[in-house]
Amino acid sequence: MAVSSEDKPRAPLTFEDLARWLGLVVLMVLGAALVWVLKPTLLLCAGSFLIAIVLNPFIAHLERRGMNRGLALGLVALCVLAIVGLFLWLVVPPFLDQVQQLVDRAPGIWSRIQTQIEGWMDRYPAVKDLIAERQSEVLSAIQGQVGGVAKFLVSSTLNIFGGLFGAVFGLMLTIFSLSDPKPIIAAYLKMAPDRFHEPARRSLAQLMVQISAWARGILINGAVTGLSTGLLLSLVGVQPALVFGVLAFLGEFVPIIGSLVAAIPALFVAASQGLPTFGLAVLVILFVQQVESNLLIPFVMGKQMNLHPVTILFFTLALGSLLGLAGAILVIPATALIKIVIREFYLRPRNLDETAIQTESAEIVSGTAKLE
């Protein structure tokens, strides 16, 4: 009678087993330390490969139409440079002028906000008496936070200019990756063990599709959100509207919380203009958010990403804490990669019954699950 693997006695843990596991732990710790030390280089490479994945479908389309890959790469590069140059020519000069105007107006804006707060307190004596002892502390704390935000913006600007040198190497890496990507893909597939070859191939193919969908959705959503935010804020009298529109566009690169954070300067300025203007600005922000959530994301992004907001928020906070702003921007590609790897290498080989799992999940949520 055959003895099943569950009935076989387990071999005792030997010193060699302990040494092997200890060595594995040490290697993992050293690997994590090496990754942390090389974090700037790895982020630069990740950004370069991300851009290469986004641009590759356009080059591949031209190749299928009979164009040489090098010529297709040059044509796509010229188109990208033309778009970036047009943006810099039309948007950046007035944007910088309005930013300077906003900085110059900041003390007056803050003074008007203080006046507004004092006026509200005079209308409600009970509230004024309740917080009279803490009012100065609250105002000082808010002012300190505003100063912290200003310092953050200045330091971020300096970091951007300081990163231009690294951007040159990133651009070179992107060009070399796009000029002949087949050896890179072939090396990746060769490194995968034979039993994992097919999941590795599917994972990379799915990742490239989802990254393209993400980039396309970010650009379309950002353009629509930026234009609508700038125009609507301009209509309700909140200026400089161009600055707030550009911030709304840039906020789309950080999922979920980016657009909310980008709206804070506009609400700050609106608060200095009185309660009616502030209320209209809040309505504008909420309207744009609802249009984005209910129309743009479902129809532009579609179901290709299929990422739950809780998952996105968790990885946004985690990668933002570990890698800063770059981690927050790369959160969607990183989350998509982790989800694809888990599905292809762990969930798919198990042949799970998705219908049964969905039914069980619904029963647990509704409180009708059987406990026996």
Which has the higher per-residue pLDDT, 68 or 272?
68
Report CA-CA distances (Å) from 250 to 218, 223, 253, 270, 370.
Answer: 9, 9, 6, 20, 48
Lowest mean pLDDT among 24-33, 70-79, 83-92, 225-234: 83-92
Q: How far apart are CA 283 and CA 323, in angstroms?
A: 34
pLDDT of residue 102: 77
The residue that leads in pLDDT, 15 or 47, is 47
Is residue 339 one of the residues assigned to a domain? yes
Q: Is residue 298 part of a domain?
A: yes
Count of CB atoms situated within 10 Å of the CB of 232 = 20
Which residues constitute the domain of residue 229?
Answer: 41-126+173-349
Q: Using CA atoms in the order 73, 338, 354, 369, what is the torsion angle rounded to 10 degrees?
A: -150
What's the confidence (pLDDT) of residue 130?
57
CA dihedral 147, 151, 154, 156 (to 10 degrees): -130
* Structural domain includes residue 150: no
Is 143 within a domain? Answer: no
Tokens 């566009």 belong to 249
- In this model, does residue 207 exceed pLDDT 50? yes
Q: Does residue 7 sit within a domain? A: no
Conformational region of residue 367, where left means phi above 0, alpha means psi within -120 to 50, and beta covers everything else: left
Return the pLDDT at 78. Answer: 93
User: pLDDT tens digits, residue range 144-193?
Assistant: 555 454 454 455 555 555 566 677 788 888 888 888 889 999 998 999 88
Structure tokens at 367: 């409180």
25 lies in a domain? no
C-beta neighbour count of 211 within 10 angstroms:
23
Most confident of 73-77, 263-267, 361-365: 73-77
DSSP letters, 199-235, are: HHHHHHHHHHHHHHHHHHHHHHHHHHHHHHHHHHHHH
Asked if 256 contacts 309 with a C-beta cutoff of 8 angstroms, the reply is yes
pLDDT for 1: 46
Task: Indicate whether 364 belongs to any domain.
Answer: no
In a domain, 201, yes or no: yes
What is the tens place of the pLDDT at every residue in 308-332? 777 777 888 888 788 777 777 888 8
Angle between helix 197-235 and helix 182-191 axes, rounded to 10 deg: 130
Report the domain count for the chain: 1
Could you tell me the sign of the dihedral formed by the alpha carbons of 62, 64, 66, 71, in that order? positive
More confident residue, 26 or 114: 26
**What is the pLDDT confidence band of residue 10, given thresholds at 50, 70 and 90?**
low
Average pLDDT over residues 90-117: 77
CA distances from 119 to 4, 125, 128, 148, 192 (A): 81, 10, 10, 26, 68
pLDDT at 301: 59
Tally Cβ neighbours within 10 Å of residue 16.
Answer: 8
Q: Which of 298, 288, 325, 328 is nearest to 312 (CA)?
A: 328
What pTM was estimated for this model as a whole? 0.72
Residue 105 has pLDDT above 80, yes or no: no
Of 1-15, 144-158, 211-225, the least confident: 144-158
* Lowest-confidence pick of 24-28, 211-215, 305-309: 305-309
